[in-house]
Amino acid sequence: AFDLEGRMRPGSSYQNRVVLDAVEAFHITQPDGLPVLKLELEQRLSGDGPFVRSSAFG
């Protein structure tokens, strides 16, 4: 419901919004037999900092 500048689009409804910084890679898969998607993100913290991996289903 948001455009690339973070403004709500006319006629859209409010949704949760996530801002992603320093994303190195992302992967989307669908587990066998399940009607969901799994999103995995790899981010690097503070320039040369450690990688952080996050995942969620939706």
> Is position 15 within any domain?
no
> Is position 5 within any domain?
no
- Report the 3 state secondary structure along the chain: CECCCCCECCCCCCCCCCCCCCEEEEEEECCCCCCCCEEEEEEECCCCCCEEEEEEEC
* CA torsion, ordered 46, 57, 7, 12, to nearest 10 deg: 180
> Is position 13 within any domain?
no
Rounded-to-integer distance, Cα 14 and Cα 6, Å: 12
> Is position 46 within any domain?
yes
> Is position 29 within any domain?
yes
Q: Write the pLDDT tens digit of every residue in 8-55.
A: 777 766 555 566 667 888 899 998 998 999 999 888 877 777 888 888
Range of the domain at 41: 23-57
Please report the pLDDT score of residue 3 as a whole number: 66
- Reported confidence tier of residue 2, pLDDT bands at 50, 70, 90: low
